[in-house]
Chains A and B, each alone.
Chain A
């Protein structure tokens, strides 16, 4: 019987990741965190580019201590392998023959030119599932364009419309969210392919586009335009005291809403902060509050300043008001709520030390599926384990591969 807590739901699935972009790395991480036996394949020497992205635990550049790399590669094992050399390609195909899922994020066509097309992978493993994740997809006029998260935000409509202020240039979001969104869509596609394979026995080649993930997922761009003819534009949170602005508290910031309280929120707010002028009809509707936003801000802001974040949260919650504390990552980490839920998992890493990592966002029968995870692999950490242990290479063969920079 499978024990979710110990093994993970995907513990019978083997994943190979040949991803040089965060989208593919994050996608593989989501599978690995659910117990999939995931091996990250990196070029010898420098490894995944993300290893060199600052900042680093301890301050100084170190390939095992980059925070982006550590965060995006939990629960994986890692090997080094130069798939551009014939010997490396052959070894990779050997790994593929035992894999269920291969994830790659090269530019379209590059896998084929390395002799690693979907057909080549299928020759040694007819049921393999290949997920190609790229900025613009495997075909189409932009397929060979260069991309990164900013470009995906630009071409995916995010920059123009989603965040930022009306009177300022387009602005984006932090920490490669479009790459992550593509990764989240990627695992949905992989689960579909795994379920399909259970029925048909056949694998398939999945095409994921980061640009399309940006359009489809955080948006509300295409169909609103098609319905109304209006082009959504940034700045919907500007000049909105109750519906978007961030206002200072004693130890942070808060964003208010008029949600909750069965439609009586302005009355409840007025009572809560002891400010009768909030009941003035000029603050009764969203539109009128916007028209009189400065006046409203001057009534509300000084009262909020008297509160600490956690007290404000407790007291508004008790009254049915809905607010958002604008928490810093440190405040999130220190959150008593998340601590009580057991959301963060502590993982030990030989170079980065013990750190708390976010869980996946869901609990199965009360268990955080990440509790049995491991921290990101050091460069080539599992070479011996996988090449000798799993593929049965001799020490001599290993030495020759090292000497030729194949691994």
Chain B
């Protein structure tokens, strides 16, 4: 597998850690941009994050984590260079002249301290596109606050809307906000490239996790302006019923069923062989079904509880009823639909026998001509030489000198804590 040519020639320098920004720049790398991830030997949390083969960090743990292949250094280049060192800083700025995009996810102010803020970079490369992905953005009273994806889940209003029916608020996810933000990063960068093709102009992009999060709850933002409070309903729905998860045979097996219309309810009754309880007139119309949804859910569970979730899904779907088994990761890696669609990628991590072939989720879209697969995972500092020669124009002798000055790394420092 090799790189698509869509973004061939586009060079991205990225000072990125953790999740949201690396997820975003990975899309550009998939499309063939040269994404140079500038890493630091001082901050190896992404290389420590795993997951590791059999859950155990191996001898070369810094190149073994699964998140690296899924998004961290996926199709990217790794330049492990200390940019806080005066020489490293000078080289970074030299490379900016040759690059199209610079991205970072430091807290606001850090890039300025390094001399890498948009104004400084635009002064040496007027066509530069910069994107800073932060929790709260470069202005406002919370600008300097730190975050995790789940604190953003809370801050944006999502957690308050999430929870079992009648229960307390719960975070929607540990990392949904990272991924939504990363998707937004990719969109914003592609927009900026598109605009620059037309106008020749660079741009400064200030993108935030919190605001991306709020953009995920648009309806609730409108509702609250008219005093409407959206209840937490778990898997239930504001008006549809039955609409929930129902226990199936086996341990922790479930099926989700979502009935909207009366016709669908009739079909479900037929699927159940028209039991006497289901003939109750209170279940005949949408509104009344919803009002009596708790007892309806209970009755329905009595019917599903003895059945196989996947077989029940197939038989309900054959009758046109909206139903889906609650699938686990183990189900999904073997799912016939996903396999037939080529969605899952069994990718062999070249040069790492301990990792070898593992299965990864693909991209949820197919654009003919733009294969979005993993074809390489950059090892720590793997591209030091290539990048410094090709992009920074350094000679092999200069590069050797840098390594001796402890500006370049290809492995963690001696004594680095094993994750």
Task: List the A side residues contacting B325 at CB < 8 Å.
Answer: 154-155
Q: Which of B158, B225, B233, B338 contacts A333 (CB 8 A)?
A: B225
B152 at the interface (CB under 8 A from A): yes
**A204 near B221 (CB under 8 angstroms)?**
no
Output the least CB separation between B242 and chain A (Å): 11
Distance A71 CA – B289 CA, assembled complex (angstroms): 28
Give the residue among B69, B155, B233 with the most A Cβ atoms within 10 A.
Answer: B155
In the complex, what residues of B have CB within 8 A of residue A329's CB? 157, 160-161, 217, 220-221, 223-224, 230
B contacts with A: majority SS: mixed
The answer to whether B176 and A177 have CB atoms under 8 Å apart is yes
A71 touching B198, Cβ below 8 Å: no
B206 contacts A162, C-beta separation under 8 Å: no
Q: Which residues of A170-194 have CB atoms within 8 Å of chain B's CB atoms?
A: 170-175, 177, 180-182, 184-189, 191-194
Q: Shortest distance in angstroms between B194's beta carbon and chain A's nearest beta carbon?
A: 6
A32 within 8 A of B: no
Given the complex, which residues of A lie within 8 Å of B327, measured CB to CB? 154-157, 160
Nearest-Cβ distance from residue B212 to partner chain A, whole angstroms = 4
Total interface residues on B, CB under 8 Å, equals 146
Cβ A340 vs Cβ B141 within 8 A: yes
Question: Whose C-beta in chain A lies nearest to the C-beta of B131?
Answer: A362
Are the CB atoms of A140 and B341 closer together than 8 Å? yes
Residue from A196, A224, A328 in contact with B224 in the complex, judged by beta carbons closer than 8 Å: A328
A226 pairs with B162, CB closer than 8 A: no
A250 within 8 A of B: no
Are B221 and A151 closer than 8 Å at their CB atoms? no
- Given the interface contacts A54-B238, A196-B6, does A68 sit within 8 Å of B170 by beta carbon? no
Cβ-defined contact, B51 with A227, below 8 A: yes
Within the complex, what minimum Cβ distance (angstroms) separates A309 from chain B?
A: 10
A134 to chain B, nearest CB (A): 11
Are the C-beta atoms of A159 and B256 separated by less than 8 Å? yes
**Chain B residue with minimal CB distance to A143?**
B337
CB neighbours (8 Å) of A326 from chain B are 154, 159-160, 169
Contacts of A72 in B (CB 8 A): 218-219
A382 in contact (CB, < 8 A): no
- CB under 8 Å from chain B, chain A span 134-169: 136-137, 139-143, 145-148, 150-165, 168-169
B262 to chain A, nearest CB (A): 15
Contact with B along A279-292 (1 / 0, CB 8 A): 00000000000000
B6 touches A223 (CB 8 A): no
Residue A297 at the chain B interface, CB threshold 8 Å: no
Partner of A212 from B51, B221, B258, B343 at Cβ < 8 Å = B343
Most central of B53, B176, B187, B369 by chain A CB within 10 Å: B187
Known pairs A171-B170, A325-B155; A336 contacts B148 (CB<8 A):
no
Looking at A37-45, A270-278, A350-358, A391-399, the stretch in contact with chain B turns out to be: A350-358
Report the separation of the CA atoms of residues A189 and B368 in the bound assembly, to the nearest whole angstrom.
10
Which chain A residue shows the least CB distance to B246?
A: A169
B298 CB within 8 Å of chain A:
no
Complex interface: chain B residues within 8 A of A137 (CB):
341
B324, B330, B337, B341: the one contacting A154 at CB < 8 Å is: B324
B395 in the interface, Cβ–Cβ < 8 Å? no
Q: Let me know if A218 and B324 touch, CB within 8 A.
A: no
Contact partners of B193 in chain A: CB under 8 A: 195
Contact: B338 with A151, CB < 8 Å? Answer: no
Q: Tell me if B226 counts as interface (CB < 8 A to partner A).
A: yes
Contacts of A173 in B (CB 8 A): 158, 162, 172-173, 176
A244 lies within 8 A of chain B by Cβ: yes
Residues from chain B with Cβ under 8 Å of A210 in the complex: 364
Closest Cβ neighbor of A258 among chain B residues: B148
- Contact segment of A109-117, A119-127, A231-239, A298-306: A231-239
Interface string of B189-225 (1 = CB under 8 A from A): 0111111011100011111101111111111111111
B3 at interface by CB-CB < 8 Å = no
Q: Are B184 and A362 in contact (CB-based, < 8 A)?
A: yes
Closest chain-A Cβ to B187's Cβ sits at a distance in Å of: 5
CA distance A135 to B369 in the complex (A): 23
By a CB distance below 8 angstroms, the chain B residues around A226 are 66, 333, 358-360
Question: Is A9 an interface residue when CB atoms closer than 8 A count as contact?
Answer: yes
Q: Are B361 and A322 in contact (CB-based, < 8 A)?
A: no
Q: Look across to chain A and name the residue whose beta carbon is closest to the beta carbon of B188.
A: A362
A157 adjacent to B332 (CB under 8 Å): yes
Sample of 19 further A-B pairs with CB below 8 A, known A171-B245, A343-B211: A55-B238, A159-B235, A170-B256, A186-B365, A192-B370, A206-B365, A211-B364, A213-B364, A220-B174, A222-B361, A225-B330, A227-B358, A228-B51, A253-B154, A255-B154, A332-B221, A333-B221, A336-B140, A355-B222
Identify 25 residue pairs between A and B in the complex whose beta-carbon atoms are under 8 Å apart, listed by A's number. A154-B254, A155-B324, A162-B172, A169-B234, A170-B235, A174-B233, A175-B220, A177-B172, A196-B370, A204-B368, A206-B368, A209-B365, A212-B363, A223-B66, A226-B358, A227-B55, A228-B53, A228-B55, A255-B171, A324-B152, A337-B140, A341-B140, A358-B218, A361-B213, A362-B188
Closest 4 CB pairs of A and B: A324-B151, A71-B218, A324-B154, A212-B364
